[in-house]
Amino acid sequence: MAKDLGRGHLVTEQRSAASMDIDTKSIRECLDIIHSQDQICVDAVTPVLDRVAQATEFVVEAFRNGGRLIYAGAGTSGRLGVLDASECPPTFGVERTLVQGIIAGGYEALRRAIEGAEDFPEVGAKDVEEVIVPPGLRPEDVVMGIATGTTTPYVHGVLAQAKSKGCKTIFFCCTQEEDIRPEQRANIDVVINPIVGPEVVTGSTRMKAGTATKLVLNMITTTAMIQMGKTYGNIMVDMRAWNEKLVDRAVRIIRTIATEENLDISREAAAALLDKTDWRVKPALIMLLAECSLEEATRHLKSCGGFVRRAIEEIRAERSKA
């Protein structure tokens, strides 16, 4: 006889009134239902934005103090954490260890379902110590568990271990906070729980819950990277051009910002400037906008914590005093 795990009350397990007869619908009608339900996801994040902000503050503090952001989840939740982590280095020029994701069942679970991998909290506790790079949690780290239905034992094992090491902990789910058991809530500093409602296909949290997860993870890491000086305006500038696509992007970034500053620079001149910096966009921008040497740009970029705009302002302020 199947064990009653008592999950039937969770909103992620309820049936959606909007799709009760979806199996009788045409292709276009199915798409209309799914699309209308997907639109709920963005609005569902609005009531929890203060909690997203609190979580992001934890992450920024961690980054500034040498800590890491570590995602943990099972199934879709784990894959989305690993996805967001893997996109941070090419987008923001950070070390691959800064944001990491672990998933129940290991990296094989990224490609196929590993049945039962999520059922053991002790495995989560072990993985969060051993799978991360370098191994071993530190108090400076932030650990975010993702379990849209709240119950995943693997994730709660991760959070319990993280809390025991003094880490800040974040928990993402798509159900009511009271669905978290008290002993689990004790291991969590902030809960982020957008309520997206029942899924179009009952229990398929790869759908609306997955969409809400992706929205929140993007918001946290993108905002944290902005706070760490990884953009100039809304342009990602902490990048090095390693291939033809990035070479073209780097040149366009230089020329776009130059135009905004009423400067004129050709593609050839922008490429020559970038070549002097080993194709690093940040110092090239400072050299252009502050009319300084690479040595001066590098020095001020370091003293300003990697913020391009602050470095330019600091150089100009020094010159005005001279």
Q: pLDDT tens across 207-244, in order?
A: 999 999 999 999 999 999 999 999 999 999 998 778 89
Amino acid at the residue 6: G
**CA distances to 81, 171, 205 from 253, in Å:** 29, 37, 39
Span 63-122, pLDDT tens digits: 999 999 999 999 999 999 999 999 999 889 899 999 999 999 998 898 887 878 899 999
CA angle, 282 then 288 then 294, to 5°: 65
| CATH node for 11-227 | 3.40.50.10490
Residue 10 pLDDT class (50, 70, 90 cuts) = confident
In the set 13, 57, 61, 87, the catalytic residue is 87
Q: Is 118 a catalytic residue?
A: yes
Q: In this model, does residue 8 exceed pLDDT 70?
A: no
At residue 3, the pLDDT reads 45
- Whether domain 231-321 has CATH 1.10.8.1080: the reply is yes
- Its pTM stands at 0.91
The predicted-structure confidence for 19-28, as pLDDT tens digits, reads as follows: 889 899 999 9
Cβ proximity of 131 and 57 under 8 Å: no
CA distances (Å), 1 to each of 6, 109, 207, 295, in order? Answer: 15, 28, 30, 72
CA torsion angle 111 112 113 118 (round to 10): -40
Where do the domains of the chain lie?
11-227, 231-321
- Is 11-227's fold the same as 231-321's? no
